[in-house]
Amino acid sequence: MLIIYIAGFIVCMGLALCLTPLVKKFALAIGATDVPNARKVHTRIMPRLGGLGIFLAFVLGLLAISPFVPYEFSTRDVNFIKALLSGGGLIVLLGSLDDKFELSAKVKLLGQIVAACIVVFGFNITVDFVNIPFNNTYSSLESWIAIPLTIFWIVGVTNAVNLIDGLDGLAAGVSGIAIATVATMAFLMGNVMVAMICLLLLGSIVGFLFFNFHPAKIFMGDAGSLFLGFCLAMLALLGFKQIAVVSFITPLLIIGVPLSDTFFAIVRRKLQKKPIFAPDKGHLHHCLRELGFSHRQTVLIIYGIAGFFGILAVIQSSSALYEANWVTFVVICVMLFFLQIGAEIIGLVGQTKKPLLSFLSRVFLKVSAEKGSKS
């Protein structure tokens, strides 16, 4: 079975390597390009639509490898794959149109809601159960809660990945790390279908990164960032389905970087009395660049942060297998502490909003003063 996984990864990576240059030529031919402005880092016109190469590599790789999988997919597995391809196809179409014509935010949001509705109503995929931490019980959700929660989750995560797409290779790499995390969890749980989907997606992303890592030759555009966000939302959604082994915190950890960046962006804009969807240069990658890190260093630092979240997610999911609920508590505390400290040091909320650092500084000064008086 392992050889099939490896073959699928290699096939999709090879397809992405072959298709991306063709997509680049197509993007330039139809004028799907990204023009520099005050908010953007690049200084020359760049072709977009790179996400189309990722999507095509994934779909073709899935078609090529499926007949050789020595495993009979369940009805639920088949429904999930159909939902991923149907909703994902609509998302790629929406993103491609935006890459060419720059659609309004309302139109894009409506398209994302339609894609989420296809998943929910077309294939009956919803958050049915949630695990209650520290209390080995599970709560069944009524449809009037499950349906809007699922739609909100898919749309929210799809946009979260789109928001971090600000540097060469950033969104693709962070998404790849998150998908690798889901693949690791799928192997641990013995979920063949999810592991296969993750490795096919990961191969497509790695192949695309050869052209997208700094200095990029093509951008993934909204076609790519929205598609990867949609895939992450769908794959992380399965964390809610694995009710016997995964608590509700695990999906949040898997996509910790885009979700935390989105959360701090909302807080920042609220404090500055700006519209939530108003663009700014206060995202994680902008703040790291302002601290003096180079383009590549900034991307690699964020890769490291994404990897940290991925490790926490794997630890959390593994501990749930043995019902070690204290690990969940530790993971949550560690995550919240480092999130807040990191946000204050970098300045994600604002240069003057540093309550935890101020508190720790006061404690340190007090301890130092007490030691000085005793000596």
Q: Which residues are annotated as a binding site for Mg(2+)?
A: 162, 222
**Is 96:32 a contact under the CB 8 Å cutoff?**
yes
Type of residue numbered 276: I
Q: Which residues are annotated as a binding site?
A: 162, 222
* Burial of 249: CB neighbours in 10 Å, binned 0-12, 13-18, 19+: buried
60 contacts 66 by C-beta, under 8 angstroms: no
What is the full DSSP assignment across 334-360?
HHHHHHHHHHHHHTSS-TT--HHHHHH
Q: DSSP characters for 175-217? A: HHHHHHHHHHHHHHHT-HHHHHHHHHHHHHHHHHHHHHSSSPS
Between CA 17 and CA 23 the distance in angstroms is 11
Q: Which amino acid is at 263?
A: F
